[in-house]
Amino acid sequence: MKYKRPRGTQDLFGIQMERWRKVERLLSGSAQRYGYSEIRTPIFEMSELFIRAVGEGSDIVSKEMYLFQDKKGRNLALRPENTAPVMRAFIENALTRRGGLSRFYYLGPMFRYDRPQAGRYRQFHQFGAEAIGSSHPAVDAEIIDLSLHVFRILGFQGIEVRLNSVGCPRCRPGFTERLKDTLQHYREELCGNCEGRIEVNPLRIFDCKDCQEIKGKLPLITDYLCAECRDHFNALQDILRGMEIDFTLDPLLVRGLDYYTKTAYEIVLPGKGAQNALCGGGRYDGLAQDCGAGFIPAVGFSTGIERLVENIPPSVLEEMGGEKTDVFFIILEEGGYPVALSRARALRSLGLKAEVELSGRSMKKQLKTAVDAKADYAIFIGSDELRRSEATVKNLITNQQDKIPFSNLETYFQNKGEQDLGEIG
């Protein structure tokens, strides 16, 4: 075959796709129950939005963006993340006028030209939530709680919340200067990448896997927080304790995006190595101003759906098997097609999943397909059935067989539904 999918992308189908759908349904249901409403923004935006918001020194902007020009020469980017687009949409649609707290969630593809490996893709999908319009640490706590809720309902065990404060434009510059000074002493010991980062974005050094040893010798942001950032951080910790949410303070956690202020956190699955971050988020009170609007405090998180699906505990995964078929029509005569297709349509309108075998293969093969689809019932339509205008309905679990007039199939399954199929109505 001449064409292959681009590196770092996936084709999803079959059982995998069904699991994704279930996970997506659980995620959106959770967000809605917390009062978050869905927002969908374009998959591409002006590249400048991400350059301003995520930061020129970040890996995302400096190395990983899919950039292109449209026919009018506008510079666009496939979105590498969705916090900046949500804030852009919030401002552009004048949602600020609503006042109070606005809560949004989203699900969709993101694009980063990263080195593909387990849990890391070039097209990946995020579920995220953003709460816009309040500086109160209780909102940070709600966001952390919602992100944890997602892992709870998916049966994750042993996940950890790592929490830090990365300060604000008032206290961070003092820390950054101090960090740069210290790093000058260790210039020789830094990896090539980090040496170049000293001037551009020294905080990134905390993310570097090759410079582990030096990290222990560096000043910590939490020792440089201004009174406001410190109070916010302490208040958030008090609220989390009051909610009985466990967390670990991690003064080395800086996150790879420049818009964060105050709270930064990740949810990790220890022992998963480099790709152990299942979820990341934090507060970004300066982002609206970076986008040219006034002061709009906000906090949010996103989680990678691939990483979620790939790490769902096996016992939960088993329960997430494919959606079963209720009735499966097996056709043994040409004249059976219109009967089966129209009866299947009628049964579907009762809420049943009805499939019709259209392959024209032998009865044995058709029956095998029905069994593979985990169908509860097979409905045979052959020459006898057509002559008598009644179908042979076989319960594939008990093997019990009934002859049911074509015109009574709906009533038959409606009654059955009340007894055992359960969901009709």
Q: What does the binding site for ligand HAM look like in residue numbers (CB under 6 A)?
A: 81, 83, 112, 114, 119-121, 124, 126, 128, 130, 256-257, 277-282, 284, 300-304, 306-307
Burial class (CB in 10 A: 0-12, 13-18, 19+), 131: buried
Judged by beta carbon, residue 132 or residue 354, the one nearer ligand HAM is 132
Residue 307 and residue 121: Cα distance in Å, rounded? 10
Judged by beta carbon, residue 281 or residue 336, the one nearer ligand HAM is 281
Task: List the structure tokens of 209.
Answer: 């896997």
- We find the least distance from the C-beta atom of residue 303 to ligand HAM, in angstroms, to be 5
Of 57, 310, 82, the residue nearest 207 (C-alpha): 57
Q: Are 267 and 159 in contact (CB under 8 A)?
A: yes
Judged by beta carbon, residue 8 or residue 322, the one nearer ligand HAM is 8
First to last CA, the chain: 47
Q: Are 106 and 40 in contact (CB under 8 A)?
A: yes
- We find the least distance from the C-beta atom of residue 88 to ligand HAM, in angstroms, to be 13
Judged by beta carbon, residue 31 or residue 356, the one nearer ligand HAM is 31
Whole-angstrom CA distances from 401 to 12, 380, 409, 421 are: 37, 10, 14, 17
Judged by beta carbon, residue 102 or residue 325, the one nearer ligand HAM is 102
- We find the least distance from the C-beta atom of residue 123 to ligand HAM, in angstroms, to be 8
Judged by beta carbon, residue 167 or residue 300, the one nearer ligand HAM is 300
Q: Which ranges of 296-408 would DSSP assign to H, the alpha helix?
A: 305-311, 314-319, 336-348, 363-372, 383-388
- We find the least distance from the C-beta atom of residue 281 to ligand HAM, in angstroms, to be 4
390 C-beta neighbours (distance < 10 Å), count: 18
- We find the least distance from the C-beta atom of residue 112 to ligand HAM, in angstroms, to be 5
- We find the least distance from the C-beta atom of residue 84 to ligand HAM, in angstroms, to be 8
